[in-house]
Amino acid sequence: MKLLKSKKNLLRYLFIGFSGFCLQIIINKFLSNNINFPYKYSLLIGILCGTTWNFYFFNIFVFKKNKLKNKNLIKGLLKFLLSNFLSMIVNFIIAFILYNNFKIYDIYSQVIAISCTVILNYFIYTRLIWKTNYNTR
């Protein structure tokens, strides 16, 4: 049963992460195609929006038993963004290099970049932000 709960949360995590990725792509495309923002800026804004989106929905659906509220929600968001800072940098660098240096289509470069950080982030979130320990449940 513990493993099943863990798998359900992992599936929710992946689904919400995918929706955050979609938001990132939409914002990136909108800013770069409609407002003529340079790719690197639209990519950065998209990553930040997708990351914030993920935090709120992870809090509601994935880590609902340890749901953060009130002041803890703001503290959690700050911890989330700080813990994500390294993965956001890695995400940005990989996507930017793949797009600019290897001429890989922008969506594909972002998929590759996000794939490099998605599982690592799940373990960071469960240990640092929502402090879930599946071994004690």
- Overall domain count for the chain: 1
Q: Is residue 65 part of a domain?
A: yes
Q: Is residue 62 part of a domain?
A: yes
In whole angstroms, give the CA distance from residue 41 to residue 5. 38
Residue 5 confidence (pLDDT):
61
Residues 110, 25 contacting (CB under 8 angstroms): yes
Containing structural domain, residue 87: 2-129
> Structure pTM?
0.74
Residue 130 confidence (pLDDT):
83
Residue 3 confidence (pLDDT):
40
Angle at which helix 2-34 crosses helix 39-57, to 10 degrees, equals 150
Spans of the chain, pLDDT less than 50: 1-4, 133-137
Residues 88, 118 contacting (CB under 8 angstroms): no
CA angle 23, 103, 118 (to 5 degrees): 40
Q: Is residue 134 part of a domain?
A: no
Residue 62 confidence (pLDDT):
86
Rg of the chain on CA atoms, in Å: 16
Q: Is residue 136 part of a domain?
A: no
